[in-house]
Structure formats: C-alpha cells, structure tokens
C-alpha cells in the first residue's frame, strides 16, 4: 500500500497576483487623496486671501476721498461711490488750460478719456477744473491714464477735490507776491534816499529863483499868477521829496490837520488846468474841466499837501485816458457823515480784470510809461487818514474815482469840536 500524499503548507504556496493588485491601487488612491486634500486646502487658502484682498480693495475704493472710474470711449464701465457722489454736483466745470466747460463729472471724465486715447504714446494726463457756478468754487484735479495689457481701450480716471490745496497754493502765491513787493519797496527806499537829496537841492534853487521873479513882476499882472502857481508846485514838490526822505528813513507820517476838501480841489485844479487844457489843444482835441465845489462843507482830517497831490494825480491820469478830448468832472459833496470827491472822465475806462489790482504797488496799465506807484501812493494817502479810494467804470464810458472821508465836527467858539 502506497504512502498517503499530504498538501504542502500554506506558507509555501505560490503568491497570488490578483491579491497584490488591489492593495497597490488602494495605496495609490490614498496618496492621491492626500495630495488632493493638500491642493484643496491650498486652493481654499488662496481663495480666502483673494476674497479678503477683494474686500480690502473694495473697502479702500468705497471709503476713498478720490472718485475713481474705469471708462471707455463712450461710457463709464465701473465707478466707486465717491465718483457717483461727486457726479451729482452741478457745473459748469471749467478746464483751466483752455476754458472748456462741462456740466457734470461724467462728461469731464469722458473728455479726459478721449484725450488720453488720442495720445500716440502712453502716459498720464493731469488737468484741473473749477466749478464756476458757486460763490466759493470747488477745484478738482482729474488724472486719466490708459489701462495697459488687453484692456488698452479703457481708461482709469481719478478725480480729487483739491479745493483746500488750491486755496493754500493761492495764499502761498499771495504771500510770495507780498514779500516781493516789500522787497521792491525796500529797494525803492534805498534808491529814494539818494535821489531825494539831489532833488531837494534843485528845488531849493528853483524856489529862490521864483521868489526873485515874484519881486520883479507886479502883483496884478497875469504873469504873477503863473509864478504863484509855480511856487505852490515847487513847495508841494519839496514837501513830497521830504516825505520821500522820511519814508526811506522809516520816519512817522505827516501830522494830520483839519482840511477843507473844496480848497484842496480848487488849488489842484488851478495848478494843472493850464497844462491840461494847453496839451489837449496841441493834440487837436478839446479837453475841459468841470468843477463843482459847494460852500459850507465839513472839514476832513488829512494833509492838504498830500491830498492836493492825490487830486493832481487823478487829473493827470484822466487826461492820459482821454486822447480824443472830453470833459473831466470833479464833484465834492456831503453824504451823511462823510465828504465825497468824485473824479470822472470820458476816456477808455479800466479793463474789468485790472480793477482788483489797480491800487497795488508797481501795477500799471501804461506799460513803460508808468511806474505803478501813483495810484498806490494815492490810495495810501487816503486810507492813512481813515478814508477810502475806489475805482469803477461809468455806464456811459470812462472811469470814476471816488474818495470818501469821515466828516469832522465843526469847531466851537473855544476852538474845540462840538
């Protein structure tokens, strides 16, 4: 009987390929699942950062004081809330560089976008606009720049309200101009100190010669009247040179006195009438002085010599403005508690843009023929005694200068004001 065969042990059995394959796939699946989880976490983190960035950007745009819009050639593509708020302000908005005007911000942005798109080369365009309708106009700065890349047909437009900045710039420019004027006045004072000394010596010599001529000419002759007028002119000129010396040495101003304005005007007209009318006749055009000086006017405070200079200066300016002749009218009258003097001419008038600056030092409309100091000094003389000097244009043509002074109370019998 043959021996019984037994089965080999399980451990020595051959490996089954079908049993190993599911185990390898499971391992790979788990690895892929782990990588997927990592990618999902990274994508979630990136999405969260992008969302936060979007929210931060949106918050920054919506809370910004600047109005921002993306525009194309025909419309507004996207804009923040500040743009919409600023867009509700009505114009007109006037562009400073050429004066062009638009009523609303949308039209302003459209014009700037079109200008940027028309440029052959890239770059930003910065322009200023003023709101001309309001009493205190706003100033807006608009910056437009073409978007780069695949969105080149679109333009970013940034609008900022720079009213306060513009006002600060204007104040700074005004301060600089004031400093420049002071420097000019200081230099003028140094120059005047030397010139005044020589002029005073010349005027003293003229005064002595006039006194000798007055002795030789009879008091009733017409020549004696001319000599008297020349003597007053030399005396006034001498006093003006003295004031110029006082100015250069920083001395106090003239001592004030009670002045009858009608007498001042009468003397000033008497001094310049002959010269003005004679010069007009030589030019072939008649020029006449029409003077109205009522009696019994109140006195004003000032210096007769200084005020006479002011009236003479205004008369000469009126003559220069009347190349075709005409009438220069002077009126002195009481107005309430004030005394007024008006000097009217029939000349060319004063350009409206010059009126705010006409009394500033060194401002002149005569070009090289003027110094820009006559009206400035006249204004100083009047304001220093508490009066006002204004300039305006007459509806009929020509200019009118108005001097207004506080009227003084009449003196009592004892010499004091009542």
With both helix axes pointing from N to C terminus, report the angle between 261-282 and 222-248 in degrees, rounded to the nearest 10: 110
- Decide: 289 and 269 in contact? Cβ < 8 Å: yes
Kindly state the tokens that stand for 354: 């010059």
Q: Give CA–CA dist 360/356, Å, rounded.
A: 9
What is the mean predicted confidence (pLDDT) over 107-116?
A: 88
Residue that the structure tokens 């000032």 belong to? 302
For residue 4, pLDDT over 60 is answered with no
% residues pLDDT > 90 (the chain) = 17
The helix/strand/coil state of 332 is: strand
Is residue 83 scored above 80 in pLDDT?
yes
The region that residue 193 occupies, defined by phi over 0 for left and psi between -120 and 50 for alpha, beta otherwise, is: alpha
How far is Cα 399 from Cα 327, in angstroms, rounded to an integer? 12
64-161 and 254-418 have identical folds:
no
Tell me the average pLDDT across 1-24: 55
> Can you give the pLDDT at residue 117?
85
Confidence (pLDDT) at 413: 56
Q: Which one-letter DSSP state was computed for residue 348?
A: -
Picking from 390, 411, 409, 410, the residue whose alpha carbon sits closest to that of residue 401 is: 390
pTM check: above 0.75: no
- CA dist 98 and 94 (Å) reads 8
Distance CA 198, CA 188 (A): 16
Beta strands 287-292 and 326-335: pairing type? parallel
Give the model's pLDDT for residue 221.
65
Q: Residue 329 has what pLDDT?
A: 94
Share the mean pLDDT of the chain. Answer: 79
Using one digit for the tens of pLDDT, what is the confidence trace for 135-151? 777 888 999 888 776 65
Please report which confidence band the pLDDT of residue 418 belongs to, taking 50, 70 and 90 as the band edges: low
Task: Look up residue 411 and give its DSSP letter.
Answer: B
What is the per-residue pLDDT across 180-225, written as a single tens digit (0 to 9) for each?
Answer: 766 766 666 666 666 776 777 777 777 777 777 777 776 666 676 7
The b-or-e profile of 30-43 (16+ CB within 10 A means b, else e) is eeeeeeeeeeeeee
Cβ-count burial 271-290 (b if 16+ within 10 Å, e if not): bbbeebeeebeeeeeebebe
382 near 389, Cβ under 8 Å?
yes
Inter-residue contact 245 to 196 (CB < 8 Å):
yes
Q: What is the DSSP letter of 235?
A: H
Write the CA distances from 78 to 50, 145, 368, 379, integer angstroms: 20, 15, 56, 57
* Across 93-97, 280-284, 344-348, 351-355, least confident range: 280-284
Q: Could you tell me which residue, 61 or 357, shows the higher pLDDT?
A: 357
Domain ranges, ordered by start, for the chain: 64-161, 170-250, 254-418
CATH topology (fold) of 254-418: Heat Shock Protein 90 (3.30.565)
User: Does pLDDT of 333 surpass 90?
Assistant: yes
Place of tokens 């020595």: 12
Give the mean pLDDT of 42-54: 75
φ, ψ for residue 96, nearest 5 deg: -70, -35
Assess contact for 109 and 68: CB atoms under 8 A.
no
Q: Which CATH number fits domain 170-250: 3.40.190, 1.10.8, 1.10.3470, 1.10.287?
A: 1.10.287
Q: Which residue has the tokens 């819009």?
A: 69
The single residue listed with the structure tokens 């867009």 is 87
Q: Among 165-174, 230-239, 363-372, which stretch is predicted with the lowest mean pLDDT?
A: 363-372
Residue pair 345/326 in contact (Cβ under 8 Å)? The answer is: yes
- Size of the chain, expressed as the number of residues it contains: 418
Domain 64-161 has CATH 3.40.1010.10: no
CA 155 distance to own-chain centroid: 33
**End-to-end Cα distance, the chain:** 173
Residue among 361, 356, 363, 365 at smallest CA distance from 392: 356
């Amino acid at each position: 009987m043959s021996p019984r065969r037994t089965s080999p042990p399980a451990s020595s059995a051959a490996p089954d390929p079908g049993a190993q394959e599911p185990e390898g796939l499971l391992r790979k699946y788990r690895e892929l699942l782990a990588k997927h989880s990592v990618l999902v976490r990274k994508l979630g983190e990136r999405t969260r950062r992008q969302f936060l960035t979007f929210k931060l950007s949106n918050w920054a745009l919506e809370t910004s004081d600047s109005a921002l819009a993306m525009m194309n050639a025909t419309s507004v593509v996207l804009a923040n809330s500040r743009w919409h708020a600023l867009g509700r302000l009505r114009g007109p908005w006037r562009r400073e560089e050429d004066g062009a005007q638009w009523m609303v911000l949308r039209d302003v942005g459209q014009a700037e976008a079109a200008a940027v798109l028309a440029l052959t080369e890239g770059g930003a365009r910065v322009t200023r606009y003023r709101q001309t309708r309001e009493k205190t106009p706003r100033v807006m700065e608009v910056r437009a720049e073409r978007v780069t890349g695949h969105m080149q047909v679109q333009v970013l437009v940034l609008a900022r309200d720079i009213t306060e900045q513009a006002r600060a710039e204007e104040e700074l420019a005004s301060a600089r101009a004031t400093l420049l004027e002071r420097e000019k006045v200081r230099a003028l004072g140094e120059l005047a100190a030397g010139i005044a000394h020589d002029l005073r010596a010349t005027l003293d010599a003229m005064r002595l010669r006039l006194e000798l001529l007055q002795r030789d000419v009879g008091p009733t002759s017409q020549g004696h009247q001319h000599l008297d007028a020349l003597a007053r002119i030399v005396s006034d000129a001498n006093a003006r040179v003295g004031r110029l010396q006082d100015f250069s040495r920083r001395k106090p101003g003239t001592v004030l006195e009670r002045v009858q304005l009608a007498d001042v005007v009468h003397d000033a007209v008497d001094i310049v009438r002959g010269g003005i009318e004679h010069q007009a006749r030589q030019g072939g055009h008649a020029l006449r002085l029409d003077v109205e000086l009522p009696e019994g006017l109140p006195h004003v405070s000032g210096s007769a010599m200084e005020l006479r200079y002011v009236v003479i200066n205004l008369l000469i300016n009126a003559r220069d403005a009347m190349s075709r002749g005409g009438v220069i009218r002077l009126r002195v009258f009481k107005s309430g508690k004030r005394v007024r003097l008006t000097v009217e001419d029939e000349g060319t008038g004063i350009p409206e843009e010059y009126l705010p600056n006409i009394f500033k030092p060194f401002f002149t409309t005569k070009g090289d023929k003027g110094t820009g100091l006559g009206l400035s000094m006249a204004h100083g003389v009047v304001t220093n005694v508490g009066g006002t000097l204004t300039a305006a244009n007459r509806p009929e043509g020509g200019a009118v200068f108005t001097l207004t002074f506080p009227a003084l109370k009449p003196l009592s019998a004892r010499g004091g004001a009542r």
